A and B are shown apart, each in its own frame.
Chain A
Amino acid sequence: MSIRNIIIAYAAAFLLQITFANNIAVMGTGPDLILVLTIVLCYMYTDCYPVIICGTAFALLHDLLLSPYVGIYALSMLLTGIAVMFASRFFNRENPLPLAGVLAAGTLLCSLVQWIIYAVSPAEGSLMLMLKNLPVLIIYDLIIGLVAFFVVMKYRKRKKKSRYYL
């Protein structure tokens, strides 16, 4: 995936996240589209560094706009991206089944990293509250992640037909 397409995908996910995703929230929790995109792209592509850096940049933007403290979501996104990059080496990248597990584990890891940073900071972060929101967040991320997986697969198949596809 070209860097231009990665940036476009993240820009779309970011704008949807802060404007629309809230409208489909269940019990006060909605999907995390930036995280989903990072996990899916890191899982599907071998060259993950542009994805991780782009995901971190948009997460930082999200922090600036919608977080009391800047950098926490960005750092958790970066660490989740790296973890998914290493984990995906053990799976068949064209199989959606392991992706479901990676999505759930990635969402959990991202939330845990955020909670740990909040817990050691003066801001206070409740583990119980984070765990309470987690099931809905994981379900949402699973659904949207699998949809994104099939969309990217279709895009890749179309690209493969091109004689210049690498």
Chain B
Amino acid sequence: MKWIRTHKAATVIIVIIVALLFVIAGSFAGAGDSSPVGKAINTAVSTVTKPLKFAANGIKDGFRGIFEYKDVLKENKDLKKQISDLKKENSDLRLEKDEYAELKKLREFLSHDELKHSDAVTCDIAAMDSSGWMNVFTVNKGTEAGIKKGDAVLCSGGLIGRVDEAGRGWAKVRSIINENSKVSFRLARDRKTMGIVSGDGESGLSGYMFEVKADVKKGDKIVTSGIGDYPGGLTIGTVTKVDFNTNTQNKEITVEPDEEFFSAGIVAVII
């Protein structure tokens, strides 16, 4: 007791360290789920950060407009081309709509749940931090919009991550570029050619094919296979490099996501 009285500051620090160790152990035991207090704090902080993130993005876009005027013009031109391509694709898809409806009916009749109806909720990114290597961000909608743990999160370019935890007014998303996120994929052009990719921690993905003789090459688009946490058919990215690793005897690939992760401001959550 005498030691505690004479070393008040050190005692406080030791108590905090012990308390933090319990918090960490509790967090791992609960698989990362926050306590009700943590969820309430998260709701409050998300409310405060929403306008600030909006302002920060506005400033960034403003500077971009000034210093990268030519790039913006090029991007505008590319987007116009993309719109015309999508319009064409859309009209083609309309023709296939009737066939799809028929197929869906048939699948429902056979109780196949792969094509069950799902909705998407659009959200703004409320908070993001790039100083760590966990690549987690928070969006401004949560349980009130029907978002729950495990939902897939998309951006304009395709799959971006998965909801790790959700509360009122917020949801914590772990991006696929997180090294702990493993995604099962298949080639967009061939359903049978499959593999697994995980984040490289920077802004890309790397992984391997299930078969050594898999016919994969640079420029191939990959989509989720539907096995595991993510629904099937969601675009992941484009293969930029194919290598054969002689040590692991695996065909390894490097993938570039179609969306630049850190510039994504709006995302959609499939609920």
Question: Which residues of A does B touch, CB under 8 Å?
Answer: 15, 17-23, 25, 27-33, 35, 49, 52-53, 56, 60-62, 64-75, 78-79, 82, 114, 117, 121-126, 129-130, 132-133, 137
Mark B20-60 against chain A: 1 for CB-CB distance below 8 A, else 0: 11011011100010100010011001101100110111011
Report the Cα distance A60→B261, complex, angstroms.
25
Closest Cβ of chain A: how far from B199's Cβ, in Å?
9
Report the Cα distance A120→B172, complex, angstroms.
23
CB contacts between A and B, total, < 8 Å: 150
- Contact assessment for B136 and A29 in the assembled complex, using a CB-CB cutoff below 8 Å: no
By the criterion of a CB under 8 Å from any partner CB, how many residues of chain B are at the interface?
Answer: 52
Whether A53 contacts B16 in the complex (CB less than 8 A), given A19-B56, A69-B24, comes out as yes
Whether A75 contacts B138 in the complex (CB less than 8 A), given A25-B130, A29-B131, A49-B12, comes out as no
Closest Cβ of chain A: how far from B138's Cβ, in Å?
6
User: A65-B42, A82-B13, A129-B179 known; 19 other A-B pairs, CB under 8 Å?
Assistant: A17-B131, A19-B52, A23-B60, A25-B130, A35-B131, A49-B9, A49-B12, A52-B13, A68-B134, A68-B180, A69-B28, A70-B23, A70-B24, A71-B20, A71-B24, A72-B24, A75-B21, A121-B28, A133-B202
Residues of A within 8 A of B69 (CB): none
Residues of A within 8 A of B20 (CB): 56, 60, 71, 74-75, 78
Report the Cα distance A72→B55, complex, angstroms.
29
Q: Which residue of A lies closest to B136 (CB)?
A: A66
B208 lies within 8 A of chain A by Cβ: no
- Contact assessment for A28 and B202 in the assembled complex, using a CB-CB cutoff below 8 Å: yes
| CB < 8 Å neighbour of A28 from B23, B32, B201 | B201
Report the Cα distance A28→B23, complex, angstroms.
28
| CB < 8 Å neighbour of A18 from B12, B127, B201 | B127
